[in-house]
Structure 1
Amino acid sequence: MVGGSIAGLALAGLLDPERFAVTIHEERPERAEAGSSLALWPDARRVLDDLGVGDRAGRLVHEVGTGSLRDATGRPLVSPPADASMQMILRPALIELLEQAVPDTVRRVHERVDRPERLPADLVVGADGVRSVVRRSAFGEHTVPRLTPWLALRGLLPGTPPENGEYWGRGDLAGVVEAPGGTYWFTTHVSHLGALPAEAGGDPWRRSLVVDVGEALAEARRVFEGTADRAPVVLDVLGRADAETTLAQRIYEAPPMRRLVHGRAVLVGDAAHAMTPNLGRGACEALVGARILASELNTRDLGSALTRYEARRLLPGAVLRRTSHALMQVALATRLQPARDRALRGVGTALARAPRLT
Structure 2
Amino acid sequence: MDAGTSRKAIVIGAGIGGLCTALSLQQQGWRVAIYDKATSLREAGAGIVLAANAMKALDLLGIGETVRNVGAPVIQADIRKWDGTIITSLPAAKQAALYGTQSYVIHRADLQAILVQAVTDTTTIQTNKQWIDGTQSEQGVKAVFQDGTQEYADVIIGSDGFHSAVRERLFGQSPVRYSGYIALRGVCTQEEARNTTQGGGFEALGPGKRFGLSSLGNGRVFWFAAINAPQGKLPPVKERQSELLRQFHGWYNPVVSAIEATEASTILAHNIVDRPLLSKWSSGRVTLLGDAAHPMLPNLGQGGAQAIEDAIVLARCLRNPDIPAALSAYENARMARTNRIVRMSRSMGRMVQLENPFLIYCRNKLLASLSDARYISRFDPIIGYEL
TM-score by length of 1: 0.85
Residue 360 of structure 2 aligns with which residue? 340
Pair 1:154-2:185 in alignment:
yes
Counterpart in the other structure of 1:308: 329
Is 1:2 equivalent to 2:40 in the alignment? no
SS class of match (1:334): coil
Q: Is 1:186–2:224 an aligned residue pair?
A: yes
One-letter identity of the residue aligned with 1:348: A
Quickly say closer, same or farther: Cα 1:8–1:353, change in 2 above 3 A. closer
Q: Which residue of 1 aligns with 2:97?
A: none
Summarize the Cα distance change of 1:324–1:353 in structure 2 as closer, same or farther, 3 Å threshold: closer
The answer to whether the Cα contact below 8 Å between 1:254 and 1:271 also exists between their aligned partners in 2 is no
| Cross-structure match for 1:257 | 278
Structure 2: which 5+ residue stretches go unaligned? 1-10, 95-101, 136-142, 144-150, 375-387
The aligned counterpart of 1:202 is none
Partner of 1:113: 130
Separation (CA, whole Å) in 1 of partners of 2:78 and 2:166: 40
State the Cα deviation string for residues 243-287 of structure 1 (Å, max 9, x = none).
333222222213211111123321101111111111111111111
Q: What does residue 220 of structure 1 align with?
A: 244
Deviation at 1:189, TM superposition (A): 0.8
The offset of 1:192, in angstroms, is 4.7
Most deviating of 162-171 and 82-91? 82-91
Match of 1:66 among 65, 69, 76: 76
CA spacing shift, 1:18–1:78, aligned 2, 3 Å: closer
How large is the Cα RMSD of the aligned pairs? Answer: 2.7
Aligned length: 336
Summarize the Cα distance change of 1:351–1:159 in structure 2 as closer, same or farther, 3 Å threshold: same
Show the 5 A alignment for 1:39-118.
39-81=49-91, 83-84=93-94, 86-117=103-134
Consecutive unaligned residues of structure 1, counting only runs of 5 or more, are 196-209
Which deviates more, 343-352 or 131-140?
Answer: 343-352
Residue 93 (structure 1) shift: 1.5
CA contact (8 A) 2:74 2:92 kept: no
* Structure with the larger strand share: 2
- What is the DSSP-based 3-state SS (H/G/I as helix, E as strand, rest coil) of the residue aligned with 2:371? helix
Compute the displacement of 1:331 (Å): 0.8
**CA 1:58–1:178 in structure 2 vs 1: closer, same or farther (change >3 Å)?**
closer
SS in 2 for 1:263: coil
Contact 1:172/1:190 (CA < 8 Å) preserved in 2? yes
> In structure 2, how many angstroms separate the alpha carbons of the residues matched to 1:270 and 1:76?
34
Contact 1:126 1:266 (8 Å CA) reproduced = yes
Residue 62 of structure 2 aligns to which amino acid in structure 1? G
Alpha-carbon displacement from aligned partner over 1:50-91 (angstroms, at most 9, x marks no partner)? 323233223113113232211212222222247356322221
- Alignment match, 2:208: 171
Q: Relative to 1, partners in 2 of residues 1:97 and 1:231: Cα closer, same or farther, differing over 3 Å?
A: same
- CA shift, 1:18, in A, is 7.8
Separation in 1 of the partners of 2:84 and 2:28?
55
Aligned to 2:6: none
2:46 to 36, 40, 63: 36
SS of equivalent to 1:275:
coil
Distance, in Å, in 2 between the alignment partners of 1:191 and 1:320 is 24
CA distance in 2, matches of 1:339, 1:188: 18
Which moves more between the two structures, 255-264 or 109-118?
109-118
In 1, the alpha carbon distance for the partners of 2:306 and 2:202 equals: 23
Are the counterparts in 2 of residues 4 and 29 from structure 1 also a CA contact under 8 Å? no
CA offsets 1:96-145 (integer angstroms, 9 cap, x no match):
1111221534233212425133524442211011111111000112x233
Whole-angstrom CA distance in 2 between matches of 1:341 and 1:30? 48
Contact 2:238 2:265 in 1 (8 A): no
Match of 1:199 in 2: none
Letter matched to residue 102 of structure 1:
V
Structure 1 residues 93, 82: closer, same or farther in 2, change over 3 A? closer
Give the partner amino acid of 2:244: A
Which residue of structure 1 aligns with residue 140 of structure 2? none
Whether 1:329 and 2:366 are equivalent positions in the alignment is no
CA distance in 1, matches of 2:335, 2:202: 32
